[in-house]
C-alpha cells in the first residue's frame, strides 16, 4: 500500500533490540532483550559475554518484532542497523543479522549512527520538532551536546573528556552496594530521594573551563573517596544495611546526583547561548539517552531550558534508552 516499513536492529551495547516502524512514524512493534543478569554478574558490560548474549537472542528478538507487527521479511522496505559507536564485537552481531535478512530478501541496508538515532528519535513523539534544534545525549558511554541544523548536519558543541554521566551513576551505584538488576542509574535516583543532597560537598567539574565539555571521572573519584571515608562496605547490600548506614549511602547518592546534574545544567545553559547566536530560530532542546529517563534530571533541565526561552523535549524512557526503532529515523522521510 505504498508505506515504507523498516526493520531496525540495535546491538551496540548490552541490549538486543529490534523494531518495525512505518514511514508515518508509527511503531508497529518493539522488542528489547537486555542483559541485566550479566551486568549484575560482571559489574559492567564485558564485550565477549555481551557478544555471545546478543548472538543467542538476535534471531528470536527479530522474529518476535516481525510477528508482533504481523509482518514477514517480505513486507519490509529496508533493514536499518546501528553501525556505531559501540562495542565492535556487539555491533557485528546486529550487522550480520541485517545482512542475512537483506541478502535473503533483496532489501537495502541502512547503516545508522547510534548517537544520531538517539537525537532524532525525538521526532517520533514531538511532531513540532523542526530543525534547527539542540540535543543533549546522556547515556552510559556518551555525553554529547549537539546543534542539529538539518538531517546529517550536526555541530558538536561539547562532549565528555573522560567518562559519561551514566558511567558515574553506574560506578557510584556499584560502590554504594545498590541492587544493580536494573542498572545503576535508576537505583541511585531512587535512593537519592531518601538523602540530603547538600550533606556531602562535591565540587562541580570543569568550572574553570568556560566551554561546553563534560567530565565525570573526577566526580566519580570524589564519590569513591566519600564512600571510603564513611566506611561504607559495598559487600553489604543496601537491603541489609542498618538505618544509619542506609542514610549515609542515601546522602552520598543525593549529593552526587545534585552535582552531576548541576554540571549538565551549567553546560546546557552555555550551549544554548552559543547555539542561539548561530541559529536564533532554535526552539527545542532534546534530551535523550538512558540518563534522560531520570525524573530529577528532567526537572532540573526543564528549568534551565525554559529560563533560556526554549522548550525541553524528552522522549519517554522506552525511546530514550537503546532500542530498535530509534535506528531508523534518519533518511527517506523517516
Q: Which residues bind ligand KG4 (CB under 6 A)?
A: 13, 139-141, 166, 169-170, 183-186, 189, 289-291, 293-294, 321-322
Q: Which is nearer to ligand KG4, 141 or 195 (CB)?
A: 141
Q: Which of 16, 139, 248, 257 binds Zn ion (CB under 5 A)?
A: 139
The verdict on 322 binding Zn ion (CB under 5 A) reads yes
Select from Zn ion, ligand KG4, none the partner in contact with residue 170, using the beta carbon and a kind-dependent cut-off of 5 to 8 Å.
ligand KG4
Phi, psi dihedrals of residue 118, rounded to the nearest 5°: -60, -35
Shortest approach of Zn ion to residue 10 CB, angstroms?
8
Select from ligand KG4, Zn ion, none the partner in contact with residue 166, using the beta carbon and a kind-dependent cut-off of 5 to 8 Å.
ligand KG4
Residue owning grid cell 521479511: 73
The verdict on 163 binding Zn ion (CB under 5 A) reads no
Give the CA angle between residues 93, 95, 99 to the nearest 5°: 120
Select from ligand KG4, Zn ion, none the partner in contact with residue 158, using the beta carbon and a kind-dependent cut-off of 5 to 8 Å.
none
Shortest approach of ligand KG4 to residue 140 CB, angstroms?
3
Which distant-in-sequence residues (6+ apart) come within 8 Å of 193 by Cβ? 250, 254
The verdict on 189 binding Zn ion (CB under 5 A) reads no
Select from ligand KG4, Zn ion, none the partner in contact with residue 140, using the beta carbon and a kind-dependent cut-off of 5 to 8 Å.
ligand KG4
- Distances 63 to 9, 50, 131, 178, 325 between C-alpha atoms, Å: 11, 20, 35, 35, 15
Q: Are 32 and 15 in contact (CB under 8 A)?
A: yes
Q: Which three cell numbers stand for residue 98?
A: 541485517
Exposure string of 50-80, with b = 16+ CB inside 10 Å and e = fewer, is: bbbbbbebbeebbebbbeebebebeebbbbb
**Which spans of this chain sit near Zn ion (rule: CB under 5 A)?**
139, 322
Amino acid at each position: 500500500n505504498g508505506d515504507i516499513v523498516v526493520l531496525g536492529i540495535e546491538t551496540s551495547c548490552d541490549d538486543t533490540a529490534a523494531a518495525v516502524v512505518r514511514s508515518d512514524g508509527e511503531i508497529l512493534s518493539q522488542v528489547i532483550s537486555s542483559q541485566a543478569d550479566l551486568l549484575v554478574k560482571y559489574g559492567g558490560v564485558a564485550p565477549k559475554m555481551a557478544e555471545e548474549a546478543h548472538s543467542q537472542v538476535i534471531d528470536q528478538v527479530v522474529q518476535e518484532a516481525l510477528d508482533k507487527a504481523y509482518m514477514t521479511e517480505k513486507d519490509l522496505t529496508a533493514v536499518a542497523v546501528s553501525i556505531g559507536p559501540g562495542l565492535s564485537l556487539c555491533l557485528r552481531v546486529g550487522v550480520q543479522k541485517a545482512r542475512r535478512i537483506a541478502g535473503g530478501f533483496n532489501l537495502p541496508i541502512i547503516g545508522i549512527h547510534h548517537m544520531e538515532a538517539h537525537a532524532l528519535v525525538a521526532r517520533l513523539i514531538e511532531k513540532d520538532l523542526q530543525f534547527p534544534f539542540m540535543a543533549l545525549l546522556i547515556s552510559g558511554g556518551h555525553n554529547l551536546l549537539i546543534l542539529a541544523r538539518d538531517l546529517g548536519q550536526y555541530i558538536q558543541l561539547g562532549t565528555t573528556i573522560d567518562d559519561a554521566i551514566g558511567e558515574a551513576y553506574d560506578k557510584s551505584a556499584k560502590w554504594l552496594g545498590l541492587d544493580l538488576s536494573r542498572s545503576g542509574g535508576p537505583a541511585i535516583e531512587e535512593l537519592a530521594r531518601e538523602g540530603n543532597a547538600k550533606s556531602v560537598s562535591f565540587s562541580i567539574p570543569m568550572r574553570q573551563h568556560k566551554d561546553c565539555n563534560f567530565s565525570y571521572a573526577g566526580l566519580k573519584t570524589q564519590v569513591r573517596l566519600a564512600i571510603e571515608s564513611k566506611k561504607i562496605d559495598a559487600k553489604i547490600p543496601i537491603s541489609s544495611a542498618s538505618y544509619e548506614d542506609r542514610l549515609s549511602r542515601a546522602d552520598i547518592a543525593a549529593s552526587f546526583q545534585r552535582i552531576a546534574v548541576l554540571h549538565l545544567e551549567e553546560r546546557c545553559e552555555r550551549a544554548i547561548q552559543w547555539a542561539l547566536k548561530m541559529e536564533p530560530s532554535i526552539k527545542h532542546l532534546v534530551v535523550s539517552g538512558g540518563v534522560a529517563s531520570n525524573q530529577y534530571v528532567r526537572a532540573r533541565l526543564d528549568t534551565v531550558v525554559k529560563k533560556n526561552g526554549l522548550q525541553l523535549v524528552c522522549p519517554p524512557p522506552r525511546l530514550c534508552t537503546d532500542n530498535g526503532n530509534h535506528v531508523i529515523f534518519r533518511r527517506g522521510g523517516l
